[in-house]
């Protein structure tokens, strides 16, 4: 049996979604056609619009429809003279949700990975360097992922900071809150020990 051309194309196109194979794609296509055409149409329009209109903030490189994002435009955050370097826009989201950080961001949109042809320029380090040269920041927090590539990238950016006399700092690595000591990997435990902090005497 030949499926109709639009249906075949839809099933094929659905496979661009992460984790969706041919069977799931078929199930989703039939689900939308049978039960949620309105939702399917809205998703189609939202996708078309989002893919065409969402670009990158000129200053921090996060996803943004305007030339600059709200965070970069905030005068209050500019006054704090602190920059946080992350790998992806989802990291910005995660940090913003903690409500603890009130500085600006720089989103690398990846990490250094010379074997894949991703060098400093591909992750926007030239843009970052230009911002550092403007002497806008007192501190740069390196919040790349604690992976080999993330560490390498953090190291590279730290060197860049030293060049422009800005203090680089790295987010703490250690036991995740609620984690269990015997279930955590050795590397994390090693970081947790080497990064230990003295406990101050309670004020009475």
| Least distance from a copy of itself to the Cβ atom of residue 83, Å | 16
For the bound state, the minimum distance from the C-beta of residue 112 to a copy of itself, rounded and expressed in Å, comes to: 17
Q: Which is closer to a copy of itself, CB of 68 or CB of 167?
A: 68
User: Residue 117: how many CA atoms within 13 Å on its side-chain side?
Assistant: 0
CA distances from 195 to 128, 167, 184, 191 (A): 28, 19, 16, 6
Whole-angstrom distance, CA of residue 66 vs CA of residue 57: 7
**Closest separation in Å from C-beta 18 to a copy of itself:** 5
d(CA 58, CA 157): 19
| CB-nearer residue toward a copy of itself: 61 or 158 | 61
Sign, Cα dihedral of 159, 165, 171, 172: positive
For a copy of itself, which is the closer residue by CB, 13 or 187?
13
Beta carbon of residue 111, minimum distance to a copy of itself (angstroms, whole number): 13
CB closer to a copy of itself, 12 vs 138:
12
Nearest to 107 by CA among 129, 90, 82: 90
Between 28 and 184, whose beta carbon lies closer to a copy of itself?
28
Give the helix ranges, DSSP H, for 74-182. 75-79, 89-98, 125-133, 148-163
- By CB under 8 A, name the binding residues for a copy of itself: 1-7, 9-10, 12-14, 16-18, 26-34, 36-37, 39-54, 63-66, 69-71, 88-90, 92-93, 96-97, 109
Q: How far is the CB of 87 from a copy of itself (least distance, A)?
A: 10
Helix (H, G, I), strand (E, B) or coil at 111: coil
Bridge pairing between strands 55-56 and 82-86: unpaired
């Amino acid at each position: 049996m030949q499926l109709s051309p639009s249906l075949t194309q839809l099933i094929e196109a659905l496979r661009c979604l992460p984790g969706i194979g041919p069977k799931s794609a078929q199930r989703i296509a039939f689900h939308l056609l049978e039960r949620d055409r309105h939702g399917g149409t809205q998703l189609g329009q939202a996708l078309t619009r989002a893919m065409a209109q969402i670009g990158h903030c000129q200053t921090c490189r996060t996803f943004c429809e305007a030339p600059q994002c709200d965070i970069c435009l905030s005068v209050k955050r500019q006054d704090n003279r602190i920059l946080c370097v992350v790998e992806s826009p989802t990291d910005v989201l995660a940090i913003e949700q903690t409500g603890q950080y009130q500085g600006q961001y720089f989103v690398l949109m990846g990490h250094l990975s010379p074997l894949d042809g991703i060098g400093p320029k591909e992750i926007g380090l030239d843009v970052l360097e230009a911002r550092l040269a403007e002497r806008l920041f007192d501190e740069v927090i390196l919040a790349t992922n604690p992976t080999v590539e993330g560490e390498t990238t953090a190291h590279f950016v730290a060197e860049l900071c030293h060049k422009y006399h800005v203090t680089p700092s790295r987010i703490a690595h250690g036991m995740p809150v609620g984690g269990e000591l015997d279930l955590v990997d050795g590397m994390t435990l090693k970081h947790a020990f080497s990064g230990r902090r003295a406990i101050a005497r309670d004020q009475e």
